[in-house]
Structure 1
């Protein structure tokens, strides 16, 4: 079974983190976001993944290669932005049978095996996964008949138009027939255009509703932070979810006087110094050094970050290769990769661009 994942966006809402790191490679529990997506697909029988080549694609290519675990991997170029439907059409030559198509911004634990079984039993041309959300007004709604056939789509509904809490989850099962509804080389939306053609032609077009799965659109820094914490705290179960408490990676040194509280994940090859206090939820990437008496609370730290003595970091994201200069007070901030702070420095509610050397 093949899966096409559309990862061509620039990740602008995740800046400054995505200036030098594509969204697909942002770490979630110290593993690239897209690796979690592919792992879930492989758990439901997918053995070949096709990526549309996007922003900083070389990082993805180096990580996934031509084979990821037992899964074949192919990258496809887009010479210009083609939208969701256009991106799918661009990969037509690789997709000659039933396939999954996924929005590369989304992670979910939807039961893809059950979705595929329903798709086949309905002899559907297309099946879309629907997920419930608390505030559907921010999304496009999908209304269905009693047998789960798609009735209509409602884009940006007014309050009086909200008749369901179900939205498009960004996960589709499609038959090759779908390509006949997409004009080649044109920027086209599958949601707003192609699916409307299926409704007009009365083709078998169904929804798969999964109200018990986890779903998140990792479209901004707040959602990225939430996804990490949901994974760490067990609200989203996956094979990499650590047990409650503290998880320490191989080759990490922890001074006996260091204190851990709550759910904490520390990567490989780290050094945790004397008097350090880490109050979860906290995720620390590989090869980080946490200096004496530093305090980390409710934060995400990427790999190769160095904390000098007496730093205090709360509610923040510290990206790779950053260096904090000691006696820092960092709260509710995002530091992109390669940021340097001097000693005795404070930040609150800030976003710092890559490679910035701050000064007093």
Structure 2
């Protein structure tokens, strides 16, 4: 999918506090949450690089120093990174306005909690062919009532936006996918240093002004990982190869991937897919059924059972405990013989 026919720069909106993901985001920025044991934001940056975009601006607000310390100048990921830090939340459009000094040509904007395989080169070709000032990626959902719905005409030009319509007032099943291609002059309409949104601010204003705003429909993979359920789903989808990450290659459908210093008792049973990170210890008669992701330094005591779970760093699972469809944060402990079904345990804050 790598192509030179894409905008040269992208802005990723990673300033939110991740309130829908609490308690997992207590003390950790949402973009740093591990997906297959790598920060989610690394997957997004790798996707953009695969598409041909090597210069990315990160729009930060919540715990910016954590993200800056991890990513630095981006050279470890083979990209160039710049930062636009908000002293108070500026909203989606306001955050991009805050990065305006970097944006001197057509650029891409992505919401920081979206995982997708959208072909940006094809979307950019659509944008140029239509002569658009703004192009909004649209994804199809069966029930659009919880989303911002975008109504377009026969050639894709946006007619109107309907936020979270009632079931009997749904004009379309195509929703705003949180991915945009914009011309830099659109930012002239965004006020500086104040909270302002794309969804109910800039985009409706551009329509009022008669500017060409288009919707680009695609039916590929799209997931908003902004809730614990969707976060778990993303990990499972990637491990099960329902979708691939540009960051990680070489996975197989039922593979079991262990770092070299993992200790596994001979009586333990592991059915993939599973990723087991360094220093993990798996005890006697433990049963693991994938998809399962275990972060570094996890300990699974004797006769525990795990199915469809994501464990972060340093998690301790007691003897005989049963976990299914769970996400367990850093350093958390699960008592012996506990039964956790569809549960989330927050990280233990130091």
| 1:289 aligned to which of 292, 295, 299 | 299
Taking the aligned partners of 1:330 and 1:149, their CA distance within structure 2 comes to 48
Aligned-residue Cα RMSD (Å) equals 1.7
* The one of 124, 135, 145 aligned to 1:116: 124
Mapped partners of 2:82, 2:254: distance in 1: 38
Are 2:58 and 2:82, in contact at CA under 8 Å, matched by a contact in 1? Answer: yes
- 1:24 corresponds to: 31
| 2:185 maps to 1:182 | no
1:107 aligned partner: 115
- For 1:221, which of 224, 228, 231 is the aligned residue? 228
SS in 2 for 1:116: helix
TM-score, normalised relative to structure 1: 0.89
Aligned counterpart for 2:265 among listed residues 255, 260, 271: 255
> TM-score normalized by structure 2?
0.92
* C-alpha distance after superposition, 1:257-295 (max 9, x if no partner): 211124222223322222111012221112222222221
Deviates more, 1:90-99 or 1:271-280: 271-280
Q: The residue matched to 1:110 in structure 2 has which SS?
A: coil
Instruction: Give the CA deviation at 1:325.
Output: 4.3
Question: Unaligned regions of 5+ residues in structure 1, if any?
Answer: 339-353, 356-360
Give SS of 2:235's match: helix
Give secondary structure in 1 for the equivalent of 2:51: coil
Bigger mean CA deviation after superposition, 167-176 or 187-196? 187-196
Structure 2: distance between partners of 1:168 and 1:285: 33
1:323 CA drift (Å): 2.9
- The aligned counterpart of 1:246 is 255
Number of matched residues? 339
Query: What is the CA-CA distance between 1:133 and the residue it aligns to?
Result: 0.8
Contact 1:246 1:260 in 2 (8 A): no
Deviations 1:320-355 (A, max 9, x none): 1123343333332211112xxxxxxxxxxxxxxx57
Q: Secondary structure of the equivalent of 1:37?
A: helix
Partner of 1:320: 330
Name structure 2 gaps, 5 residues minimum: 1-7
Aligned to 2:199: 191
- Structure-2 separation of matches of 1:322 and 1:160: 45
Question: By how many angstroms is 1:307 displaced?
Answer: 2.5
